[in-house]
Amino acid sequence: MTRPDSIAAELTSNAPALLRYLARRVGADDAADLLGETMVVAWRRAREFPQQPERARMWLFGIARGVLQNHARGERRRWALADRLRGELRLAEYPSADAGDEVRDAVERLDADLAEIVQLVHWERLTLAEASEVLGIPASTARGRYQRAREQLRSSLDDTITPDERRVKATSSTEPQSCPKGER
């Protein structure tokens, strides 16, 4: 029997036992994925494959054990990250869920390329130059899209403002409006 054939035969004959071994440790949902990963590692390390069947079986269980340890480390890192992010989210201040509905709705009505530039500049706090780099477009194109988006948003939002709100806005806006970073 050639080496690939013997590895395939050992994997086939030991797969049920390896799957049970993994399932008892991580549950049925993750066990199948870890068995697949065990098989991939076994094929990568085919040069180390022992020819004796009992040693081959223990070699496969050793690989499965290493895969389990990697999985456990990954799980710990994911939980630590989730805990850290939950802590950061508790400290962050967010507007109420209904704050800015008109603006969100207006942005959603924009063409996708215009909405994306607005979201990158205002929500993600990127400059127009940075947004153009993220989008893979020239800065001049980004500036043009941003200008079109602003005009469409202004028009859309002016339709939602009542005459009283328009009067209050006109009398209270004595300071010039600031431009987002990088627009100048």
Q: What is the pLDDT of residues 94-149, one digit of tens each?
A: 665 556 788 888 899 999 999 999 999 998 899 999 999 999 999 999 999 999 99
So what's the pLDDT on residue 143? 96
Given a cut of 90, whether residue 23 has pLDDT beyond it is: yes
Class of 101-172 in CATH: mainly alpha
For residues 87-94, average pLDDT: 77
- Residue 93 C-alpha from the chain's centroid: 22
So what's the pLDDT on residue 82? 94
**Is the CB of residue 39 less than 8 Å from the CB of residue 81?**
no
d(CA 58, CA 73): 23
d(CA 84, CA 159): 42
Share of the chain above pLDDT 90, in %: 59
pLDDT (tens digit, 9 = 90+) per residue, 48-81?
A: 989 888 899 999 999 999 999 999 999 999 999 9
d(CA 71, CA 37): 10
Task: Name the band, by pLDDT with cuts 50, 70 and 90, for residue 180.
Answer: low
Question: Across the chain, what does the average pLDDT equal?
Answer: 85
So what's the pLDDT on residue 161? 63
Which of 108, 104, 100, 115 lies closest to 148, judged by CA? 115
Residues of the chain with CATH 1.10.10.10: 101-172
pTM of the entire predicted model:
0.50
Task: Name the band, by pLDDT with cuts 50, 70 and 90, for residue 182.
Answer: low
So what's the pLDDT on residue 54? 87
CATH number of 3-91: 1.10.1740
Given a cut of 50, whether residue 176 has pLDDT beyond it is: no
